[in-house]
Structure 1
Amino acid sequence: MTETASTADPNSTASRSRREIVWQAAALLAATLLAYLPVLDAGFIWNDDDLTAILALVQRQGLSAIWFSSEAFNYWPMTWTSYWIEHQFFGTNPATGLPHPTSYHVINVLLHATASLLLWKVLVQLGVPGAWLAASVFAVHPVNVESVAWITQRKNVLAMVFYLVAMWQFLDFEQTSRRSRYLAAVVAFLLGMLSKGAIVAMPMLLLVLAWWRRGQVTRTDAVRTLPFWVVSIVMSGVEIWFQQVRAIGDETIRQADLAERVMASGPIAWFYLQKSLVPLDLAFVYPLWQFDTSKVLQWLPLAAGLSVLVVLIWATRTGLRRGPLAAVLYTLLNLAPVLGMIDIYFFRYSLVADHYQYVALPGVIALVVGGLSHAARVRNIERLPLKIASIGLVALLAGLTWQQVGIYQSPQRLWRDTLARNPGCWLAHNQLANLVNSSQKVDDARNHYLAAMDLIERQFGSGHVETARVHHNLGMLLGQASRQSGEPQLMHESIAHLETACRIDPDRGKYVESLSGVLQEQGRLDRAIDRLNDFVIRHPGDGQVWLLLAGCLEEAGRMAEADAARRRGRVDDPRRQRP
């Protein structure tokens, strides 16, 4: 009887375990939703017009345009399809003619919460101590706000969900040998790469996990990663092509040789480690660092990082557990695509961004939380103080996240916060000026544009190509102000700024279109025609400029030339070929 009384009921134990898991999952989900609650009032910000551009493309040409063509500016068809599906449910706001931003924000938060739950599952499978706390820290870490509260970063959180599903299914396959799990892992990885290529390092990470768990990488381990390598290589090649050809095109992002790119990788990696551990002073755009490979001191961050890695490898070979090195390798491999070796369009503004470490962040969190949890277990520290400390940490991070989400309420607030944290951000001045929609605030906008020009010239030198963009924007603003106020002097200034934009960047079709449009409006047809003719001689394939030239020629009474230009424009502009 005594034996029966002292023996635990297996069914009761399992029931308690299930209830505990449900409560922990509910707590993680609640913490995530509460931390991101302010996002319900957030709107569209910078580059969120990607959404409307993709929806317009699908409306014109169907879903096949984002899956089987190069019409989109990048190849993330799963992300684009998620936008389209959501639009079918929530439609367009009749007042603005734009999609409802709230639904897209909510879906982003739910995807992030799903990723956090999946991270918990994977860490449990891997036997990482403190798995629930690590997943909770990831869920409410302020660095992740940029990926979650910025609609255009849907690609990040969606890729992360598929990435963790792939990891979960692969680990299940290793435990059960069920082929369906392996197939599910490969398919999930493919869907993740079709969302965004940030998870490209997965095949290498599977080998790292094999080494961590079993102390070696066998032939079987290598063979199992082959389909992942195929997906990784093919899809990363596609994404690099889209980034370099469709997104960047003929633009020069930065003039940096190989030595400078290698040098930059050190400070970039240390920056992400710092923000992971101390997520304070987060900015939407950080300062753009400049490097000089002739200065020995600027090589120290890279040298220090390599030294730490070498010491960690040596310590692992001489008795240290493999976990710390595996966590560091996870972080570095996931950061590798954004360490500056390959140009990304955003690098023209800053070499670092919070959203670039979304996939890599769990490595640092698992290392710190797992290490502390293991130490607490070894030292038999009581559970109550640990629970209080865990709740306090999650609450602190959730509070910082709540505060960080607030800056995404509107583009004005976002860019003002950016200037407060990074006064040298010319992009913030330019964007704040672009947001002026009242003729009474033209002087404010002009001051922001002039400040942007000054910062660009101080940082990059006189006549830098980015000043052309600001001159163009200022010219368009002054032209609109002239139409509203009737002041001819403003129109003269507008034309002068547009002329300057074309002189600095003569191969930008948008600039010559704007200038010629204003000249045509002012009756200066000969000048407009000369400008357009000069451009089409250099860029005969720009159908839009040909059509604008046809309009100017027709207005000037040169009908035969106008007809020829119009025919050329319809041939070279694919948008005009559709019925």
Structure 2
Amino acid sequence: MVRFSERRPWLWGLLLIAFVFIAYAQVFHAGFIWDDESHLTRNPCIVGPLGLKEIWTSTQAVYYPLVLTTFWALHKFVGLNPLPYHILNVLMHAGSAVLLWRVLRQLGVRGAWLGAALWALHPVMVQSVAWVTELKNTQSCLFYLLSSYCFLNWEKQSQITQTRRVEVSLMFGLSLLCFVLATLSKPSVVMLPAVLALCVWWRRRRIQWRDAVALAPFVAISALASAWTIWEQQFHARAVGPDWAQSWPERLIIAGRAIWFYLAKLFWPHPLIFIYPRWQLQPAQFTAYLPLLLALMGLIALWFLPGKAGRAVFFASAYYIIIVSGARCF
């Protein structure tokens, strides 16, 4: 039986886009705020004489070359009218919602459309979508999901002997290209190789050497992006000193707290603020590590859940922990 949302997929896609635009209608009356100034309105690379060369070769703290290139191109056509920038952000978010739906469908997840709609309309997304500077998030997310979609297509087609090799290679190349574009938009997407490995496991219940070889270039791109970001932040953004030099025990504590903090915001997104109070870390206290230990013990317990439903819960939990503890805390 064909699932209800698959009878007219284009209609359900348009409905998802419409919901996003309705939810964010107030954004189209908004202006620029906070560090829109440093990224856009007073950025000499955008409004001044420096231009694309400086955007791509700069050693400044703000190094998001593909996002700044998008700003640069849009500024050439619309100047500093905030409306087109907000429209672009909402479009990116709506496109990501549709892609998430299709990725979940590729993974055989029931209620894929509803899951994508909940993600797109969740209150925690407002800060990224309504804030012009956070094109970093919406643009990187779009390419992240495009890369995932192409990789899953490649993985499926490569199992079919009748599929032409050129088509298979093209799909893999597109996935790799989209991952590069995602990292050039925001390097926090570097955990994608681990996520793709998890998706392969979800589909086939195992990971083979062939999969490891296919993921190797993704891992290489991820390693390069991570190394560049660390170097750039330490030696050019001057992210050094006591406020930045967390020890590994402190990072483990942050990882554990972040897992439960974002989970709480998922179920009760209030209050939502730009910068939350800094956590007081006590590495000498055993109780400081309990949040991480509980999360890992819970994940191990989920591994033993029977049936496809158990695998689904483990898959979702593992994905969440990988993304939060990896990209945000290390």
Do structure 1's residue 325 and structure 2's residue 319 form an aligned pair? no
Any stretches of 5+ residues in structure 2 without a counterpart? Answer: 159-167
Secondary structure (helix, strand or coil) at the match of 1:43 reads coil
Secondary structure (helix, strand or coil) at the match of 2:243 reads coil
Q: Which residue of 2 aligns with 1:89?
A: 77
Do structure 1's residue 105 and structure 2's residue 86 form an aligned pair? yes
Q: Which residue of 1 aligns with 2:62?
A: 74
- Pick from 25, 39, 42 the counterpart of residue 13 of structure 2: 25
Q: Which residue of 2 aligns with 1:208?
A: 198
Q: Letter of the aligned partner of 1:44 in structure 2?
A: F
State the Cα distance separating 1:86 from its structure 2 match: 0.7
Q: Which residue of 2 aligns with 1:191?
A: 181
Q: Which residue of 1 aligns with 2:284?
A: 294
Secondary structure (helix, strand or coil) at the match of 2:304 reads helix
Q: Letter of the aligned partner of 1:65 in structure 2?
A: E
State the Cα distance separating 1:135 from its structure 2 match: 0.6
Q: For each residue in 1:537-565, what CA deviation from the matched residue of structure 2 results, as whole angstroms up to 9, or x when unmatched? A: xxxxxxxxxxxxxxxxxxxxxxxxxxxxx
| Cα contact 1:74–1:243 (8 A) shared by 2 | no
State the Cα distance separating 1:134 from its structure 2 match: 0.5
State the Cα distance separating 1:295 from its structure 2 match: 3.3
| Cα contact 2:5–2:12 (8 A) shared by 1 | no
Give the TM-score taking structure 2 as reference length: 0.89
Q: Following superposition of structure 1 onto structure 2, how do residues 327-476 of structure 1 map, counting pairs within 5 Å?
A: 327-341=316-330
Change (3 A) 1:128 1:18: closer
**Aligned mates of 1:249, 1:334 — CA distance in 2:** 23
**Aligned mates of 2:30, 2:111 — CA distance in 1:** 33
**Aligned mates of 2:309, 2:24 — CA distance in 1:** 39
- Which of 1 and 2 has greater Rg? 1
Any stretches of 5+ residues in structure 1 without a counterpart? Answer: 1-7, 92-98, 342-579
Do structure 1's residue 118 and structure 2's residue 99 form an aligned pair? yes
**Aligned mates of 1:301, 1:234 — CA distance in 2:** 31
Q: Letter of the aligned partner of 1:333 in structure 2?
A: I
Q: Letter of the aligned partner of 1:34 in structure 2?
A: I
Q: For each residue in 1:354-375, what CA deviation from the matched residue of structure 2 results, as whole angstroms up to 9, or x when unmatched? A: xxxxxxxxxxxxxxxxxxxxxx
Identity of aligned residues (%): 36
Q: Following superposition of structure 1 onto structure 2, how do residues 437-516 of structure 1 map, counting pairs within 5 Å?
A: none
Q: Which residue of 2 aligns with 1:221?
A: 211
State the Cα distance separating 1:60 from its structure 2 match: 2.6
| Cα contact 1:263–1:298 (8 A) shared by 2 | yes
State the Cα distance separating 1:322 from its structure 2 match: 2.1
**Aligned mates of 1:61, 1:221 — CA distance in 2:** 43
Q: Letter of the aligned partner of 2:152 in structure 1?
A: L
State the Cα distance separating 1:330 from its structure 2 match: 1.4
**Aligned mates of 2:52, 2:289 — CA distance in 1:** 48
Give the TM-score taking structure 1 as reference length: 0.52
TM-align CA RMSD: 2.4
**Aligned mates of 2:121, 2:203 — CA distance in 1:** 28
State the Cα distance separating 1:53 from its structure 2 match: 6.6
Q: For each residue in 1:222-265, what CA deviation from the matched residue of structure 2 results, as whole angstroms up to 9, or x when unmatched? A: 11111111111112211222222222345542454322221222
Q: Which residue of 1 aligns with 2:264?
A: 274
- Pick from 137, 152, 155 the counterpart of residue 171 of structure 1: 152
**132-141 or 102-111, which moves further after superposition?**
102-111
**Aligned mates of 1:272, 1:255 — CA distance in 2:** 23
Change (3 A) 1:161 1:141: same
**Aligned mates of 1:330, 1:197 — CA distance in 2:** 18
| Cα contact 1:125–1:171 (8 A) shared by 2 | yes
User: Comparing both chains, which one has the higher relative contact order based on Cα–Cα distances under 8 Å and sequence gaps of 6 or more?
Assistant: 2
**Aligned mates of 2:324, 2:156 — CA distance in 1:** 29
State the Cα distance separating 1:51 from its structure 2 match: 2.6
How many residues get paired? 320
